[in-house]
Amino acid sequence: MNNLLDFTLEELKAWMKENGESAFRGQQILSWIYKGVKEFDDMKNIPKPLVHKLKENFFVGMPKIIEVYKSNIDGTEKFLLGFTDGNLIESVLMRYKHGNSICISTQVGCAMGCKFCASTIEGKVRNLTTGEILSQIMVVQDYINERISNIVLMGSGEPLDNYNNVIKFLEIVSAEYGLNIGQRHITLSTCGIVPKIYELADKELSITVAISLHAFSDDKRKEIMPIANRYSIEEILEACRYYISKTNRRITFEYALVKDVNDGREDAKALGKLLKGMLCHVNLIPVNEIKENTYKRSSKKAIEDFSEILKNHGIEVTTRREMGSDINAACGQLRRSYINTQEIEGRVKW
Ligand code: SF4
């Protein structure tokens, strides 16, 4: 059995042809699905024999909503979602004036080992399929009965470590036949897997790439991000310049501020020097404190000073507003605390 959400239009048309059907049926079926009709019997223009074939060969794989936590502070909703193999992931819905935005996961767990992140504590369990990445948006849209217009691939997992499935996801989510969410409304966040940034650039998509930089020197970066042992900051910046030259898109650099680790004035000056003149934007993220490590959030004053110094270097800066601080909104926290309270793995299956 195949998950229909794993299929691009071209792939489904090819399947139709191989199975003695007209290719245009592929378009009809996908347009039903992405309009929200997931039962083959309800697809009015599909002949009964094909409905039968679809039932024999396909399913529409949607995750189960295990829990929904809503922030009393800002209305952010965190969804704990379960797949049929018992694995759990998190997706976070944030409501802004300009529309609904969702932060989705691309892997169960993560292999990258960033010290400040709860998603990686038990390593990577597995990649999510294209359909599993897409279905996070669909299940949340169904739940709130509203459209989602912005996507960030910033939940658990390193998107470029699941490259092929993520590329296919980007095609379907932005296609007219799919969820039709414009690529300019999609941000992919990576810890900096250099060869994949070049590959992505060559696709010439119009998504925003966000690099989790978090330090201005390789030595400092190595302290918090093991990926820094593989690729230097200079190699990452070179790949970013290539991305900009191919796409003309501004790069976002994510910088999680950790008290007394990377939030000093000297750090800000060095970062400003490093990025000066580049088509980029820095997003400062006051780190979420998790009980698995000792990192502390920077003071308000340190955050303001850091931001000011970058601005003095001509760099655009924003400070991420904390969303859902009362609901374990940092990536990976909810899944871990849920699993810990379930004690027996079998209880999270159904
Ligand atoms: S921050 Fe991202 S890349 Fe780093 S461990 Fe967490 S999920 Fe993986």
Mutate to test the pocket of ligand 1, among 108, 114, 331 (most ligand atoms within 8 A of CB): 114
Residue 110 known to be catalytic: no
pLDDT tens string, the chain, 350 residues long: the values are: 999 999 999 999 999 999 999 999 999 999 999 999 999 999 999 999 999 999 999 999 999 999 999 988 888 999 999 999 999 999 999 998 889 999 999 999 999 998 878 888 889 999 999 999 999 999 999 999 999 999 999 999 999 999 999 999 999 999 999 999 999 999 999 999 999 999 999 999 999 999 999 888 999 899 889 999 999 999 999 999 999 999 999 999 999 888 888 899 999 999 999 999 999 999 998 877 766 667 788 889 999 999 999 999 999 999 987 666 666 555 555 555 555 554 333 333 22
Q: What is the C-alpha separation between 109 and 182, in angstroms, rounded?
A: 27
Task: Tell if the pTM clears 0.85, that is, is over it.
Answer: yes
DSSP 258: B
Q: Which residue has its alpha carbon closest to ligand 1 atom 3?
A: 158
Per-residue tokens: 62: 């949607």
CB 183 within 8 A of CB 189: no
**Tens of pLDDT, residues 142-170:** 999 999 999 999 999 999 999 999 999 99
Residue 116 phi, psi (nearest 5):
-95, 5
* pLDDT reported for residue 350: 25
**Tens of pLDDT, residues 110-154:** 999 988 788 888 899 999 999 999 999 999 999 999 999 999 999
- Which atom of ligand 1 is found nearest the CA of 117? 6
* pLDDT reported for residue 345: 34
SS3 305: helix
Pocket of ligand 1 contains residue 333 by CB under 6 Å: no
Write the burial class of residue 18 (CB in 10 Å: 0-12 exposed, 13-18 middle, 19+ buried): exposed
Which of 60, 34, 37, 40 lies closest to 52, judged by CA? 40
Pocket of ligand 1 contains residue 158 by CB under 6 Å: yes
Q: Order across the sheet with 88-96: list the strands.
A: 64-70, 77-82, 88-96, 99-104, 150-153, 186-190, 208-212, 251-257, 280-286, 316-319
Per-residue tokens: 33: 């699905």
Element (H, E) at 98: none
Per-residue tokens: 340: 């810990």
Residue 331 known to be catalytic: yes
Cβ within 8 Å of residue 122, ≥6 positions away: 109
Pocket of ligand 1 contains residue 117 by CB under 6 Å: yes
Query: How far away, in angstroms, is 48 Cα from ligand 1 center?
Result: 46
Q: How many CB atoms lie within 10 A of CB 53?
A: 18
- Determine the Cα angle at 111 with ends 108 and 116, to 5°: 95
Per-residue tokens: 287: 């780190």
Q: Which residues pair with 233 in a beta bridge?
A: none
Which of 288, 327, 287, 299 lies closest to 74, judged by CA? 327
Q: What ranges make up the beta strands (E) of 99-185?
A: 99-104, 107-109, 124-127, 150-153
Q: What is the C-alpha separation between 150 and 302, in angstroms, rounded?
A: 30
Query: How far away, in angstroms, is 272 Cα from ligand 1 center?
Result: 24
Which of 156, 295, 107 lies closest to 214, judged by CA? 295
